[in-house]
Amino acid sequence: MKRRQFLESALAASTIVLSHRASVGSTSRQSRSTDSRIEVLLNEPVGKINPEIYGHFAEHLGGVVYGGIWVGEASKIPNVGGIRKSLIDALQRIKPSVVRWPGGCFADSYNWHDGIGARNQRPRRTNFWRDAGEWPKDVPDGPWNYDTNQFGTNEFMRFCRLVGAQPYVAANVRSLTARDFYEWVEYCNSPPGTTTLADMRATGGDREPFKVRYWGVGNESWGCGGNFTPEEYAAEYRRFTEWVPRYGIDPAFIGAGPNSGDLDWSRRFFTKMNERRALGRMWGWALHHYSWNVSGGRTTDWRQGKGDALNYPIDEWYELLREADRMESLITEHWSVMGEIDRQHRVKLVVDEWGAWYRPGTEIHNTHLLGQQSTMRDAVLAGLTLNTFNRNAEKVAMANVAQLINCLQSLFLANEDKFVTTPTFHVFDMYSAHQGAQSIRTICSSPRPSYTRNGQPGDIRGLSESASLSDKRLVLTVANPEAVQSRVAEIVIRGAQVKSTTGTVLAGKDIHAHNSAEQPDAVRPVVMQTVSGRGGTFVHEFPPASVTKLQIILE
């Protein structure tokens, strides 16, 4: 069925629920003609889906921290100790698991000592991003370019506690010393009353240690984090992580891994670490992969070109999703390189920056550097990326979408008291059911949408799926990147009978659908009618440009 027909029939029935009721209700294989097939192999577990795969990232960049997370205690905007209340409420709903902070590139310029102690005595510092080329001309001075340090370590930890997330702290390798690093660990984790830094933590309001387990050792050390060679960075990594005090916590150190497909960075770093038998000191290897459109051909310079977040032709829709879908091969390729040296695969992948990146112009406020609107395209991108992580649960131990609020692929857009959830938020909400469950192998066959971009033909994966099992609950999530046509799939559950199925679908009125302060619910998930499939097989129709969750209760 074409997108227009699909949506018209949905609207004719008042809500999209009714249209889905019809499609989901048709469970007999014979009554529908299918073009796709998804098999769920219950006897083939892949690995536990670490809740940390559903992680977030908040950097001192534009409107992320100041104006996004932190509004200050004196603000008229409802807040809890200075932290935006609407953000806390929304995050609690999606079980955010982990938040990475304070950067990003900012991390390698940040002196954590500036962000502790009495707030009215904290120094103001020039923010790393002050001179970024993307700033509009008329931006007023404020904490986005001169950081007031009102949001520091204690505030971040409080934020994590309020939303139920674990903290993931990225340390400064480029412009601080190893001593600063282990003193930050001491500030966070040393027992009450044992050290001067523990006393200072208590003065900041937190007598009990923060018990931070996840520590990033720099960020993008091949670029803004120091422009190191892999060999130089390996030496820094070893220096920073040698004999860091533990305080009864097994630290999970995360190395600054590659930019997208840079296998050389992974191979040379692992080789150098292995020469010194130091790989045992690494828990995770951080891969960064952003997706963007490039007008007029490819370039390796991230500042060039890029497409628009809101106005895009269909070929840009497909091109962007194809870029995102490279995630699967990036994971497999880096994993294989890591395995050449780390044969037991002790070190796991951490994709601590991923998402869509568009050119400036759709940010909701001019202080939101790298801010952008977020449409159904971003929802499908999130759906297919999270499916990829689920399918590779034995390799990917953590992932952090970039970034939480007012920046790149955000879950939230906020300005003053306006607060909007984006389609990406809804995907995280729907997918939260996967957290901690057992990833199950799936096999999907589905027609590949094709397109032409800049005269070049291309095609992308059809339906993208992942499944997880916890007790008798099987969750199957499916993203349909096809912009125009729905896909009708035969769903085969191998190894059990289906007792009942419920579903939720996220689909906008067109491929550009998005939420705004004026229309905050233009894109929202819709719960479908309960259905049941016999013999472990049923048929389901996935609307064009959509993300679907089927929750299947097994006998």
The span of 98-106, 199-207, 387-395, 511-519 binding ligand AHR (CB under 6 A) equals 98-106
Return the residue of 376, 381, 408, 427 that touches ligand AHR, per CB under 6 A. 408
Q: Which of residues 239-278 bind ligand AHR (CB under 6 A)?
A: none
Q: How far is the CB of 128 from ligand AHR (least distance, A)?
A: 8
Report the residue count for the chain.
Answer: 555
Contacts of residue 516, Cβ cutoff 8 Å, sequence gap at least 6: 364, 373, 420, 522
Return the residue of 316, 353, 482, 541 that touches ligand AHR, per CB under 6 A. 353
Is 108 near ligand AHR (CB under 6 A)? Answer: no
CB 431 within 8 A of CB 109: no
Q: Is the CB of 135 or the CB of 538 nearer to ligand AHR?
A: 135
Active site residues: 220, 353
Q: Is the dihedral of CA 358, 464, 399, 262 positive or negative?
A: negative
Q: Is the dihedral of CA 300, 139, 87, 124 positive or negative?
A: positive
Minimal CA–CA distance to 152: which of 98, 100, 112?
112
Within 283-345, where are the H helices? 314-325, 327-341
Q: How far is the CB of 90 from ligand AHR (least distance, A)?
A: 21
Return the residue of 58, 69, 105, 380 that touches ligand AHR, per CB under 6 A. 105
Q: Is the CB of 327 or the CB of 467 nearer to ligand AHR?
A: 327
Is 409 near ligand AHR (CB under 6 A)? Answer: no
Instruction: For residues 370 and 105, give the distance between their C-alpha atoms in angstroms, rounded to a whole number.
Output: 13
Q: Is the CB of 79 or the CB of 219 nearer to ligand AHR?
A: 219
Q: How far is the CB of 277 from ligand AHR (least distance, A)?
A: 29
Return the residue of 104, 167, 383, 544 that touches ligand AHR, per CB under 6 A. 104
Q: Is the CB of 342 or the CB of 353 nearer to ligand AHR?
A: 353
Half-sphere exposure of 123 (CA within 13 A, CB side): 8
Two tokens, residue 72: 């200050």
CB 446 within 8 A of CB 460: no
Minimal CA–CA distance to 132: which of 302, 293, 252?
302
Is 59 near ligand AHR (CB under 6 A)? Answer: yes
Is 378 near ligand AHR (CB under 6 A)? Answer: no
Torsion angle of alpha carbons 541, 377, 356, 335, nearest 10°? 10
Return the residue of 103, 115, 251, 284 that touches ligand AHR, per CB under 6 A. 103
Instruction: For residues 89 and 84, give the distance between their C-alpha atoms in angstroms, rounded to a whole number.
Output: 9
Question: What is the number of the residue whose Cβ is closest to ligand AHR?
Answer: 104
Q: Is the CB of 251 or the CB of 257 nearer to ligand AHR?
A: 257
Residues that bind ligand AHR (CB under 6 A): 59, 103-105, 219-220, 353, 370, 402-403, 408
